[in-house]
Structure 1
Amino acid sequence: MKTRSIKRNLINSISAIFGLFIIIVFTFVDVSVDDWAQQQFKFELQEKTNQIKTSTHENSASTSDNSNNHYVYQIWKNNQTIKRSASLHPYPELDLLHTKIPINSYKLVNVTMPNNEPGQALLSSYIHRNKDGSSDYMYITVSTSTKSLDRMTGLLDILLIGSFLFSMIIMRIVAKKIVQKGLYPLESLNRQIKKFNNNNTYSNNDFAFYEHKSYSEIDLIIKELNNFLTNNRNNIENEKRITSDIAHEIKTPIAELITLTEVHQRFPNDARLAETFTDDILQISNRMRVIVENLLLLQRTSSTIELYKEPIDISLLLTSIQHELTFKYQDITNRIQLKTQLDTVIITDIFSLKTILTNLIDNALFYSPPASAIQINVLNNTHNIIIEVINVATINYSETEIQKLIQPLYQYDSSRSDDNRYGLGLSIINNICKINQYPLSITQTITGDFTVTVSIAQ
């Protein structure tokens, strides 16, 4: 595929536009000057004709003269030749063009001169008043070569063509300079990108695109590139942290399994180890299974999942979730307080909504004081259905810590020692909300009320 160049296209476009403008101007000038020269030639021929008329009638006895050889003329009186120019003497049998035209009129025609040069002839007819009162019908034809006129107009055409070519060269050079200057910020940015690509990873950590002078178009590109670098660095740091946390979460139960197995092999007859060995192995294995399942769910919700929207009764769904969580929280029925203003079903994906509510209710029950109430509000406004899960948190989070809660495997320090929490619940919820385009909000009041809000468009 042929590579296109913005610079070359701009230069060609500017040159073509101004070239067309120059062609129009030069063509107008050429036509105007040619018309002016032709008109001047005609006026001069008319003036010469009038002079010949005057000199002829002042000296009517003369049949020849010594007029300028550039002009050839012949005069007729009542269709009889009365005078010929001296330049016609070598051609006694040759008569100039004699065509009838209206009295007192002129006619300019192209002719061939006696010496076979191209020329023009002015034909004129008039009535001459004699001294005795009589009048004669006169006819005169004056011819002259157009060689000098053609030479002048040809030279003018050459000058105009040369001027046009010179103007186009100058215009091309000026357009190139203007485009190069205009594209300099883009070329500077391109050099920075090459420099960034050629640098090593450590040099790129603090790299930022910049431009000494501010241009609205370039500033927008630089801003987006720097935002991309910032997001990319944050993603890399998150990936590093997630990888480290995954290794930590998996390494701990694996180390426990290895330790238990080695101790049992070393003391196979110890009754105390034998009694709990199977249960310990099963418990550790279940923990690993839960970690892997949550990680797989996190990965699944990190990309696009298939959504099957259907009518869902929120009350029945919440009852089902309470039943499923009863084995972990025996008093769940007494602790959850449902307040709903919804008189219709929710049209959404059952897997998405159930996963969101299950994780929110599980977190609220776990991270709130024992026997404290969990408030679930389902509100209906004009455009959205608002679901709020509110609990009293035992920890006062800062704004930065609240923003980190949706990061995978992030856990507040005091809860890391718990074997049943892995810091994946809110990350999974955040991913599902992004896929479904549900706005997610996490806030905490001064009194400690921790609220997670999900908005579902109707």
Structure 2
Amino acid sequence: MKSIRSKLVVTLSIAITGLVLSILLATDIAVDSWVDNEFNRGLHSKAGMLMTLVHEDEEGLAFNFSSEFMPEFDGQLEPEYFQMWTEEGVFTRSQSLNLFALKNLKFEELKLGETKIMSTQLPDGRDGRVIYTRFEPQLDSHSHRNFYDGVSRPHHSTLTLAYAASSEEVDFILWLIDVIFIVTTVTVIVFIRLFVRKSVDSSLAPLNKLNRDISRLSIADKSAVITIKEPVKELQPIVDSLNAFIQENRQLYFREKRLTSDIAHELKTPIAELINMAEVAILFPNEKEFEADFKPEVLKISQRLKSIVSNLLLLHKYSDEALPKQDACDLNQVILRILEKYDLERIKFEFQDDIPAIVSNLFALESIITNLVNNAKQYSPDKSVVTVCTLLNKEDKLQFTVTNELKVPLTEDDLSQLFDPLWQKDSARTSNDNFGLGLSIAKALSKAIDAELQVSLSGQNITFSLIIS
């Protein structure tokens, strides 16, 4: 099973660690290069200074060097070494070379102007670096002016300089930098891991609390809702959707609970009547007057039970189920065929001639129209007129309406319950012919054929409208 927490921790840890490591690695390389370059620059500077001490005049080469100002070359302070060669051999070398058995630096063949830096082992056994360079000495212009007569420069000697110094301090600094880099890297990885995990846990805390609140929620508690003390922008839409979902399911729960109670109430009365009649028949087996009424009453009660059960099964069958729409028909003709069964003195049919033919489910249409007309006749005054109408509405959709005067006034709150199964305005349920299922069946069949069944009040008149797509 995938874990959001684990994925976030791993992803953020890898991303942040990679970024930090890249920065640290780049910094380490830059610092190492800078320290190394600074050391090499120091070698170049010291070699350049030694080259400036060599000059050539009419008498030959001269080296103006004093160890008083550079004690490192006589071994008094961390020995450093230099040696110069001419074409004939060794020209000069530092006094520090005389302190050890190895009194000469290694010679390196170079071209004039060429410079080379190499790692080496110093005469004293330390690790170091040596810089080689081949150069021409300076000319003494006071004693040898014809060197600058502008015609030509006479050939004179070239020298090779080798200057060596210990690199152990630099190597130690580079090693220390690398150790610091490794320690910092490990520390950063551990810190990032802990920090990311802490941050993710903190960020997911509202989600975990939401999960706990949902697990404790009871749909039977009318006042129970999900709330977040400190609203989170990402979670608030989820909380709102969950509350809407809970509210809808709570309504369904109480609706089913009421429906179960209503079904029990509807079945209880005829069953009690059958029991009472059976008990009377047993107590008075020879009562002829009772026997004459017994069978018709049993049949009537049984038919009522059958009607209730059949309508409940019909409602259950077509709830939330789509019906095939394969029947082409003329809605006006369908309505006329149904109205032939009724007393036309109480029904007024107003129809629009040019309405188009439709393709729908004929069984569903006939059932919806029948239930709506039956409902209008049943709940309107005896001598009132029920108006049935067909038309094209403003959206060019076919609309079928049934309007009747109300026998018992309804409120807007009643309208929201009209389509609930077994709901009746008369709480005493005195009617033996109506069970509050007709409108529920009409509503279920409307959804099954993608039609919309609406209801509206206008004074003492109620209108049911079926809008067919």
* CA 1:257–1:69: 2 relative to 1, 3 Å: closer
Higher deviation after alignment, 284-293 or 164-173: 164-173
Aligned counterparts of 2:327 and 2:111: Cα–Cα separation in 1: 100
Pairwise CA distance, 1:56:
5.3
Task: Say if 2:97 and 2:103, in contact at 8 Å, map to a contact too.
Answer: no
Query: Does 2:266 align with 1:249?
Result: yes
Query: Does 2:81 align with 1:72?
Result: yes
Aligned counterparts of 2:134 and 2:33: Cα–Cα separation in 1: 25
Residue 44 of structure 2 aligns to a residue whose secondary structure is helix
Higher deviation after alignment, 88-97 or 239-248: 88-97
Counterpart for residue 456 of structure 1: 468
Task: Say if 2:352 and 2:390, in contact at 8 Å, map to a contact too.
Answer: yes
Pairwise CA distance, 1:73:
2.6
Counterpart for residue 125 of structure 1: 134
Counterpart for residue 21 of structure 1: 19
Counterpart for residue 371 of structure 2: 359
Residue 19 of structure 1 aligns to a residue whose secondary structure is helix
Q: 2:311 aligns with which of 276, 294, 297?
A: 294
Task: Say if 1:74 and 1:96, in contact at 8 Å, map to a contact too.
Answer: no
Counterpart for residue 70 of structure 2: none
Q: CA RMSD in A?
A: 2.9
Q: 1:43 aligns with which of 41, 44, 48?
A: 41
Structure 2: segments with no counterpart, 5+ residues:
56-60, 68-72, 145-153
* CA 1:125–1:320: 2 relative to 1, 3 Å: same
Pairwise CA distance, 1:370:
2.4
Aligned-partner residue type, residue 311 of structure 2: N
Aligned counterparts of 2:16 and 2:326: Cα–Cα separation in 1: 60
Q: How does 1:329-344 map to 2 (within 5 A)?
A: 329=342, 331-332=343-344, 335-344=347-356
Task: Say if 2:121 and 2:128, in contact at 8 Å, map to a contact too.
Answer: yes
Q: Which runs of 4+ in 1 moved over 6 A?
A: none
Aligned counterparts of 1:167 and 1:270: Cα–Cα separation in 2: 102
Aligned counterparts of 1:93 and 1:178: Cα–Cα separation in 2: 65
Task: Say if 1:387 and 1:453, in contact at 8 Å, map to a contact too.
Answer: yes
Pairwise CA distance, 1:94:
5.7
Structure 1: segments with no counterpart, 5+ residues:
none
Task: Say if 1:73 and 1:96, in contact at 8 Å, map to a contact too.
Answer: no
Aligned counterparts of 1:343 and 1:192: Cα–Cα separation in 2: 55
* CA 1:311–1:70: 2 relative to 1, 3 Å: farther
Task: Determine which structure has greater relative contact order: mean sequence separation of CA pairs < 8 Å that are 6+ residues apart, divided by chain length.
Answer: 2
Aligned counterparts of 1:80 and 1:287: Cα–Cα separation in 2: 134
Task: Say if 1:376 and 1:390, in contact at 8 Å, map to a contact too.
Answer: yes
Higher deviation after alignment, 381-390 or 238-247: 381-390
Higher deviation after alignment, 126-135 or 311-320: 126-135
Pairwise CA distance, 1:363:
0.8
Higher deviation after alignment, 82-91 or 12-21: 82-91
* CA 1:280–1:109: 2 relative to 1, 3 Å: same
Pairwise CA distance, 1:339:
1.5
Aligned counterparts of 2:119 and 2:305: Cα–Cα separation in 1: 109
Higher deviation after alignment, 409-418 or 37-46: 409-418
Task: Say if 1:442 and 1:453, in contact at 8 Å, map to a contact too.
Answer: yes
Aligned counterparts of 1:95 and 1:215: Cα–Cα separation in 2: 75
Q: How does 1:203-282 map to 2 (within 5 A)?
A: 204-282=221-299
Residue 294 of structure 2 aligns to a residue whose secondary structure is helix
Pairwise CA distance, 1:408:
0.6
Residue 311 of structure 1 aligns to a residue whose secondary structure is strand
Q: 2:3 aligns with which of 2, 5, 11?
A: 5
Aligned counterparts of 1:366 and 1:415: Cα–Cα separation in 2: 17
Query: Does 2:445 align with 1:432?
Result: yes
Higher deviation after alignment, 111-120 or 407-416: 111-120
Aligned counterparts of 1:32 and 1:260: Cα–Cα separation in 2: 106
Could you give the per-residue CA deviations for residues 341-387 of structure 1, whole angstroms, max 9, x where no partner exists? 54321122222222211111111122222243222222224452211
Counterpart for residue 53 of structure 1: 51
Residue 420 of structure 1 aligns to a residue whose secondary structure is coil
Aligned counterparts of 1:396 and 1:255: Cα–Cα separation in 2: 32
Query: Does 2:153 align with 1:153?
Result: no
Query: Does 2:73 align with 1:96?
Result: no
Pairwise CA distance, 1:180:
3.1
Task: Say if 2:54 and 2:137, in contact at 8 Å, map to a contact too.
Answer: no
* CA 1:238–1:250: 2 relative to 1, 3 Å: same
Query: Does 2:91 align with 1:82?
Result: yes
Pairwise CA distance, 1:69:
5.8
TM-score (ref. length: structure 1): 0.87
Aligned-partner residue type, residue 24 of structure 1: S
Aligned counterparts of 1:110 and 1:162: Cα–Cα separation in 2: 28
Pairwise CA distance, 1:193:
2.7
Identical positions, percent: 27
Higher helix share: 1
* CA 1:233–1:142: 2 relative to 1, 3 Å: same
Could you give the per-residue CA deviations for residues 249-284 of structure 1, whole angstroms, max 9, x where no partner exists? 112122222222332333333332233322222222
TM-score (ref. length: structure 2): 0.85
Residue 451 of structure 2 aligns to a residue whose secondary structure is coil
Residue 217 of structure 1 aligns to a residue whose secondary structure is coil
Could you give the per-residue CA deviations for residues 375-415 of structure 1, whole angstroms, max 9, x where no partner exists? 22222244522111111221220001111111110011178
Aligned-partner residue type, residue 365 of structure 1: K
Aligned-partner residue type, residue 384 of structure 1: K
Pairwise CA distance, 1:106:
2.7
Counterpart for residue 397 of structure 2: 384
Task: Say if 2:332 and 2:351, in contact at 8 Å, map to a contact too.
Answer: no
Query: Does 2:165 align with 1:144?
Result: yes
Counterpart for residue 149 of structure 2: none
Residue 210 of structure 1 aligns to a residue whose secondary structure is coil
